[in-house]
């Protein structure tokens, strides 16, 4: 189900573990600064980036499928055309509760597939902006 209700967004933001697909090792990029913000606000951030060994002091995984820890939220910093594959990996894991795509990242078909599999979906929203707005 596509989530846009503030109460449900706040409920989602209560989860602890966020796998960030497309997490960047480069400070100043949103894909670095947003996960750092989450980490600084108590979230366990798991970087997923096949081109980095470590990001934000944590091992970076090559893919979502490689992540050994349980994942609550998959935060997507990849182009819209890659969302479908990420959703497939999230569904396959069996532990993911939410797929969250950042601003400008949308795939209606992938969102419907995730929702049909029982995942909540937040599309085209910045998790940092929503956290600041709802979790004060």
Number of domains in the chain: 1
Please check whether residue 10 lies inside any domain of the structure: yes
% the chain with pLDDT above 70: 100
Give the domain extent around 58: 6-134
Predicted confidence band of residue 136 (pLDDT cuts 50, 70, 90): confident
Contact 73, 12 (CB under 8 A): yes
* 0.85 surpassed by pTM: yes
HSE-CB of 109 using CA atoms within 13 angstroms: 7
- DSSP letter (8 states) at residue 14: T
Span 57-113, pLDDT tens digits: 999 999 999 999 999 999 999 999 999 999 999 999 999 999 999 999 999 999 999
- State the residue for tokens 């470590």: 54
Nearest partner of 48 among 14, 81, 82, judged by Cα: 82
CATH of the domain at 21: 3.40.50.720
Please check whether residue 1 lies inside any domain of the structure: no
């Amino acid at each position: 189900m596509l989530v846009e209700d503030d109460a449900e967004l706040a409920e989602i933001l209560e989860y602890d573990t966020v796998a960030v697909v497309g997490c960047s090792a480069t400070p100043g990029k949103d894909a670095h600064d947003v996960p750092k913000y989450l980490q600084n606000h108590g979230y366990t951030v798991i970087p997923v980036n096949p081109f980095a060994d470590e990001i934000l002091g944590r091992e970076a995984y090559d893919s979502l499928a490689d992540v050994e820890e349980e994942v609550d939220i998959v935060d997507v910093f990849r182009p819209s055309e890659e969302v479908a594959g990420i959703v497939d990996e999230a569904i396959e894991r069996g532990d993911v509760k939410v797929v969250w795509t950042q601003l400008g990242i949308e795939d209606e078909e992938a969102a419907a597939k995730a929702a049909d599999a029982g995942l909540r979906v937040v599309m085209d929203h910045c998790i940092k902006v929503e956290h600041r707005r709802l979790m004060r």
